Structures are given as structure tokens and as C-alpha cells.
Amino acid sequence: MFFSIDESNGVAIYEQIVRQVTFAIADETLKVGQMLPSVRALSIELAINPNTVARAYQDLLADGIVETLRGRGLVVCSGSLKRCRDQRRSMIAERLKSALTEALHGGLEADDIREIVDKQLNKLDGSVARISDAGNLSNPSEVK
């Protein structure tokens, strides 16, 4: 599966799930009409309590990203692709903005910060690339 929880990054676990489902839809790892993993299955996989997964799924339902198929589970709603792409961008931009604001207010220079970002990005991109793709030059149509 495509989820991974980081217990120590300060983001609530249910929130990490909401975000990662959103990202998976934006990414078409999870397509419109496709079902989410069951609460039970996902809770086992992530080794967390089912209530936490259920809480995340409620948020996605309330947000109209997924809907219930009675007795069968949750499916990705039509129209979610675009919404999730938009949300992905704003969620990520928002979080980066918050971290960057702190860095600038904390007295680091913009160039200094760019250097930190580049270093992290090079290091991380390598390890992510090995897992998720290869030809990393594409998909400009996804950018909002």
C-alpha cells in the first residue's frame, strides 16, 4: 500500500491519512470509482487503531472526496481527481510556507534556506525515485 505514518512529525495520524489519500487520488494511484482499503485492513497495515482510520475516513466523507457504498465500503467520488490535485498543491504549499516563514523569521537567509531545501530534496528524491518511478521529467499537465 501507499501509506506511511511518521509518528514524530507533529501531524496527527488521522490527518496524515487524510492527506495521503488525497495525494493518492491526485496521483491516480487511487482512481475515481476505486475503493479505499477497509478500515480494518488499513489499521492492520499501519499498525494503528481502527478508530484512527475511521476518523480519517469520516473527514474524507465529510469533504465529499469519497462516498459510502452501503455495506461495501468507500469509493473515490467522481470529480475528486481535480479537487485532490488542487488540495494537494495547497496542502503542501501551506505546510512549506509555514516552515519557510519560521525559517526566515528565525533569521536564516533565503539563500541559506534554499541550500537546505536543495540538499534535502536531492537526498530524498533519490530514495523516493528508486521506489515510485524512473523517468522523472514528466507530468507537467498535473501542475495546477
What are the residues binding DNA (CB under 7 A)?
A: 12-15, 36-41, 48-52, 54-55, 57-58, 61, 68, 70-74
Applying the rule CB under 8 A, the residues between 114 and 143 that interact with a copy of itself are 114, 116-118, 120-122, 124-125, 128, 132-133, 136-139, 142-143
Nearest-angstrom CA–CA distance, 56 and 38: 12
- Class of residue 33 by CB neighbours under 10 A (exposed 0-12, middle 13-18, buried 19+): exposed
Nearest by Cα to 142 from 23, 2, 33, 27: 27
Q: Does 113 sit near a copy of itself (CB under 8 A)? A: yes
Q: Are 60 and 18 in contact (CB under 8 A)?
A: yes
- Residue 134 contact among a copy of itself, DNA, none, beta carbon within 5 to 8 Å by kind: none
Q: Does 7 sit near a copy of itself (CB under 8 A)? A: yes
Q: How far is the CB of 64 from DNA (least distance, A)?
A: 13
Q: Does 49 sit near a copy of itself (CB under 8 A)? A: yes
CB atoms under 10 Å from CB of 5, counted, come to 16
